[in-house]
Structure 1
């Protein structure tokens, strides 16, 4: 993908624009209360002078955790890690925006991550994604599939996921901002319409599903090496478990290997390989209706 002049991060580019939009839109609908994690991490200082970290976290009556982490290195790396998790009384998808930009390229995942696997739980797919497929139709050419991705990485993606790699031009980042705006507005509308669950069994299922997601992300976070470089190993572990994926220590008690036993090594430790399943997908593995079709799909079919 190209457009809008040569590559390189312009002096005016910042993912703060994305965060400001999301917080502003959320405030129009809810009262944002600072999350307890914000006090600890809001003023975290990186050990590199040319780097600025911004960490913000909030909650509302329906949102358990709304948090953002941005990393800005002058004329170098820009990172956005933004997510919104509902309270367990709601089975809302998890809003997820991850972007890493260097002068050479931008790597992006933007999604409403499903709380329940949309292949196994067709009712969940119908409830949340059937009517959202026009979103990905709108952006599949502007922000095309980013190349081969393993089934491991695909595990928590939805049929409307934007997974893309592009040249960091102004035009491309404007397309990404437009997608972020559309996806977040849709998520807020889903939140507005969400009805509080009263069945304790379903609430517990939602809680465990969110905890499973948090456990996966905390273990597999691709940004961990950069965080470790910027704030040290102890600081990076705290940031991952107590801020980015806060709840991994409180929403449930299961360990990573209890959820994902296929990663267990003989000595009881976690296999660090990026992929255990081996299968990869070079094109979007869902059809135009959001049904998972694996390698059978190449572009859009009806």
Structure 2
């Protein structure tokens, strides 16, 4: 864990090697929070920067109870510029990985010709199937590389990151022109707003951090990630009476949407579902049961 200095661990160093010269390094913001319980840490360290044409870049390292850990990089353009969103995530538990790499469109006429050969190359090398998550597909391009709790060759995926980032810098960021048409600017604003709304409505991070850190600290995390123009407002959780389930013996948390899927089943089978899913999660060393983990286990355990 790092604070009071820029975190350049692992994949984050790749990003800084390729893009640090463009960052406003003399004016940045850092958020750090950690909850230590017994021998386990749930932490997030986020360095946020601005740059020419870029509203906000998030460079993050996280860990959930020492079981799931990883990195996230997000770059949102200023709405007045024709620059797409760069997205990178790589995490997991040492056996299976969560991975996402994309250059997400902010205008409908983006030319993906520079990216297509890179996508085809790494799709084949990684033997990667198309994303099956509707919410991910709704905000990403068709050239997304996405793994959801799958076995992944990390070195190859990091090479893909290097090449995707190079394409984003050379073919989209550097030549990204300032927009003059109001409709284009409105379209970019809308695309960024949608991206933030969909991401924060489906990403389990806020629920995890609210459980581990408490609501005020989790709210601060949400604010930092969504405050820049175009900003989004905090969802109203006041009517949410569903407390996060926790198996303390197995050190496993449940995400709200996964809990709701269990509660939708007949009451007499709910505990059997919970026990089976938690047992599989424990075998796989998964610290949190998200909706995606639930669906994957459900299809395997209850055929």
What is the TM-score normalised by the length of structure 2? 0.65
Contact 2:131–2:146, Cα closer than 8 Å, also in 1: no
Aligned match of 1:100 in 75, 91, 97? Answer: 91
Counterparts of 1:230 and 1:255 in 2: how far apart (Å)?
18
Shift, 1:255, TM fit: 9.1
1:144–1:163 contact (8 Å) kept in structure 2: no
Residue 88 of structure 1 aligns with which residue?
79
Q: Which has the higher contact order (CA 8 A, sep 6+)?
A: 1
Deviations 1:30-54 (A, max 9, x none): 543534xx24x1x323334543532
- Equivalences, count: 229
The answer to whether residue 199 in structure 2 is matched with residue 220 in structure 1 is no
Check conservation: 2:82, 2:178, Cα contact below 8 A: no
Instruction: Tell me the secondary structure at the aligned position of residue 128 of structure 2.
Output: coil
Q: Name the counterpart of 1:209.
A: 191
Aligned mates of 1:93, 1:214 — CA distance in 2: 14
SS at match of 2:141: coil
Deviation at 1:202, TM superposition (A): 2.4
Give me the whole-angstrom Cα distance separating, in 2, the residues matched to 1:80 and 1:256: 25
The within-5 A match list for 1:279-294 is none
**Among 48, 53, 56, the residue aligned to 1:57:** 48
Structure 1 residues 253, 112: CA separation in 2 closer, same or farther (over 3 Å shift)? closer
Distance 1:27 1:89 in 2: 22
More strand by share: 2
Native 8 Å contact 1:15 1:70 kept in 2: no
Q: 1:73 to 1:220 in 2, by over 3 A?
A: closer
| 1:232 aligns with one of 187, 196, 214 | 214
Equivalent in the alignment of 1:167: 151
Of 48, 58, 71, 1:67 maps to 58
CA–CA separation in structure 2 for the residues paired with 1:142 and 1:28 = 31
Equivalents in 2 of 1:50, 1:231: separation in Å? 13
CA gap of 1:208–1:234, structure 2 versus 1, over 3 A, is same
Q: What does 1:1-302 align with in structure 2 at a 5 Å threshold?
A: 16-35=9-28, 38-39=29-30, 41=31, 43-48=32-37, 50-51=40-41, 52-72=43-63, 76-116=67-107, 121=108, 123-124=109-110, 127=111, 129-146=112-129, 149-165=132-148, 166-167=150-151, 172-189=153-170, 190-239=172-221, 241-247=222-228, 250-251=229-230
Q: Which moved more, 1:73-82 or 1:194-203?
A: 73-82
* Offset, 1:184: 1.1
For 1:30 and 1:56, the matched residues in 2 are separated by 11
Deviations 1:159-206 (A, max 9, x none): 2100125436xxx11111111111111111120111111333422332
Paired residue secondary structure (2:81) = coil
Structure 2: 5+ residue stretches without partners: 1-6, 237-255, 259-303
Shift of the alpha carbon at 1:155?
Answer: 0.6
Structure 1 spans left out of the alignment, 5+ residues = 1-13, 258-271, 275-302
Whether the 8 Å contact between 2:48 and 2:59 is mirrored in structure 1 is: yes
Residue 134 of structure 1 and its aligned partner are, at CA, apart by 0.3
Shift in Å at residue 29 of structure 1? 3.9
* Paired residue secondary structure (2:10): helix
